[in-house]
Structure 1
Amino acid sequence: MSSGQQVLIELRKMIISGEIPGGARMAEIPTAEMLGVSRQPVRMAFRLLEQEGLLLKNPTRGYTVREISPKLIQDALEVRGVLEGLAAKKLAEKGLTAEQHDQLMQCITRIDPIFKKPELTDADLETYHHYNTIFHNTIIHGAENIAIVQALSKNNQLPMASAQALTFDKNNPLSEIRRLHHAHIQHCAIFNALKNRDSARAESLMREHSLVVTLGDMMRSIFTPGSNSHI
């Protein structure tokens, strides 16, 4: 995984967990020093986090961390689920083209081997992120509905709404691996529904899939009574 991707994932996790609180000012040099990296990957991460709605660009210099609540994240994920679910429904009704079938199948077969190992490397996370993005984009654009694409683009500017907003908490690797593996199994089920042109199931599965971001937090809350973590 590139240093830029590592910095992006780490900063995203720190903001979502509250380790970097809402309202905090962020600048390239101190952030680079904190993470032990150069300024370039930090600069790239800042721009992407701004696009994701986690950072707000200051009028003069630097960024400010957006105030984020669990409700805001939940609302954004719910809207994403509705829109991606509709895209999956439309694609199932039309039926997969040979190219779409092969593209989705490739995503599944490229991701599957990483879960046959006891732990995930940075390269594994890069593989997951790459093919997860392709999987979602294939379905979204396959629906051939510009309104869905534009609505998702707008919603993706809210915290954690985008399918590309990958998080991985290295302090809780087991629950994170389970979460990503669960998402992979959902991909398999979604693909099967699309292949069989089962539009109702494809839509339902896709809507449920949008909430996989919160799965790790839910598991920790079950096994750690009194936990106050959010995502």
Structure 2
Amino acid sequence: MSKPGQQVISRLRQMILSGELESGQRLAEIPTSEQLGVSRTPVRIAFRALEQEGLLTKLAGRGYSVRQVTQDEISGSIEVRGVLEGLAARQAAENSLSTSQSKELIELLKQGDELFENGSINEQDLTKYHDMNRRFHQIIIEASNNPAIAEALSRNEHLPFASVSALAFDRTNLKQEYRRFNFAHMQHHAVFDAINNGQSSRAEAIMREHANATLGYAKIFSQMEDSNDKMQVIQSR
């Protein structure tokens, strides 16, 4: 998928997640493309992708509407992904990585290190992270040698925010987003270390926790920043 297309999908996800696009709100290509400052083509692609993810509903006429999504639904779908990917990591550790799988994972980790070394992240960086992240997870699933895991994950991906590719990016809080995605990347290092050393239980636990990183840690870091802001106010008095 093109970079503009991926960025539009990410931006619309975030707008739905934040409530900027409300449940039941009608969306059409032209006004959405004008709002986002892009052509109609990436918007059309984004609408179709978000319909597949369970975030939009195609209307009988033209356009789409924002589907009502509950926090329980999001949490449930992410938990299922965590269980499935945790099992994949466990079995990958038990099977041992092939030489080619190990080399590619190491290269992906290096790419991630370079992405985060400047201490900041932007929307263009997210496109790079998206591709790197998707391939990292794919290799682990392949290394499990269990086709049933890939099949189950494919079905689960039609639920809101269940796909490993369903990344949302808040452009209004770049500091938070850097922390969130950098933390997720550090978990990539940890799960690779566990798999590479045959630590199956550790690999499974890290991968299950990792499934919550793209959404759950945004709230944690927001709370941390709020606490820090309050502390600074108290100290300045």
Q: Return the index of the structure with the highest Cα Rg.
A: 2
Paired position in structure 2 for 1:9: 10
Take 2:115 and 2:38, find their aligned partners in 1: how far apart are those partners? 27
CA contact (8 A) 2:122 2:174 kept: no
Q: Specify the alignment match of 1:66 in structure 2.
A: 67
Task: State the alpha-carbon separation in 2 of the partners of residues 68 and 135 from structure 1.
Answer: 28
1:1-231 residue pairs with structure 2 within 5 A? 2-213=3-214, 214-224=216-226
Q: Give the unaligned 5+ runs of structure 2.
A: 228-237
Q: Which runs of 5+ in 1 are unaligned?
A: 226-231
**1:191-214: per-residue Cα shift (whole Å, max 9, x none)?**
001100111010000000001021
User: How far apart, in 2, do the equivalents of 1:85 and 1:67 lie?
Assistant: 29
SS of 1:140's equivalent in the other structure is: helix
1:59 Cα deviation (Å)?
2.8
Q: How far apart are residue 165 of structure 1 and its match? A: 0.9
Cα distance, 1:118 vs structure 2: 3.3
Contact in 1 for aligned 2:7/2:127 (Cα 8 Å): no
Matched residue type, 2:198: R
Q: Distance in 2 between matches of 1:148 and 1:114?
A: 29
Q: Which amino acid aligns with 2:49?
A: L
SS at match of 1:64: strand
2: CA distance, partners of 1:13 / 1:122: 12
Q: Structure 1-normalised TM-score? A: 0.93
TM-score by length of 2: 0.91
Distance across 1 between alignment mates of 2:213 and 2:134: 14
Q: Secondary structure at the match of 1:224?
A: helix
Identity %: 47
Amino acid at match of 1:43: R
- Give the letter aligned to residue 108 of structure 1: L
Per-residue deviation, 1:16: 1.0
| CA distance in 1: counterparts of 2:60 and 2:72, whole angstroms | 28
CA distance in 2, matches of 1:30, 1:158: 26
What is the Cα deviation at residue 224 of structure 1? 3.1
Q: How far apart are 1:96 and its partner, in Å? A: 0.3
2:121 touches 2:177 (CA, 8 Å); kept in 1?
no
Separation of aligned partners in 2, 1:169 and 1:51 = 22
In the TM superposition, what is the alpha-carbon distance from 1:222 to its structure 2 partner? 4.1
Q: CA RMSD in A?
A: 1.4
